[in-house]
Amino acid sequence: MSAKKWINLVSVYSIIYTVITLLNSVLYLCSGIYEDPSGNWHELDRAIILLIGIVAFELCTSLPIKPLILRYVAAYIPSQLLAFAYVWFTGLREPLAKTAYQDIWINFTGLFIVLSAVNTIASVYKKKRSAKTK
């Protein structure tokens, strides 16, 4: 993988992690909660789950599968299962919330869909732009 690809990957990871963390903090503050009840483990868990998703998505975009939707599904299913496994392992450290698996499914799937949509739009734009230059 090229240095530019690594820089892009780390940048996307950092931006998404920052936005998610800030959004979480704002939502807690709006709810009257002034400290994260889950503490530092929650931050580390968020970072690991996001890493699973970003790495899976990066692998997804380089798979030699057509059409593009099958490429996304081929990356989504194992990465979602890995995220579920990670949540299960966190249950060995501390009790899970009753909605832990539902929450991870909603958040992971939502982020994966957004990344897939952005990637698809970028791919279409690149194809159109390269077609105009030919």
**Domain residue spans of the chain:** 38-133
On average, the pLDDT of the chain sits at: 88
pLDDT digits (tens, 9 = 90+) for 37-84: 777 888 899 899 999 988 888 887 778 888 888 988 888 999 999 999
Q: Which residue has the higher pLDDT, 36 or 25?
A: 25
Burial 58-82 (b: 16+ CB within 10 A, else e): bebeeeeeeebeebbeebbeebbeb
pTM of the model: 0.80
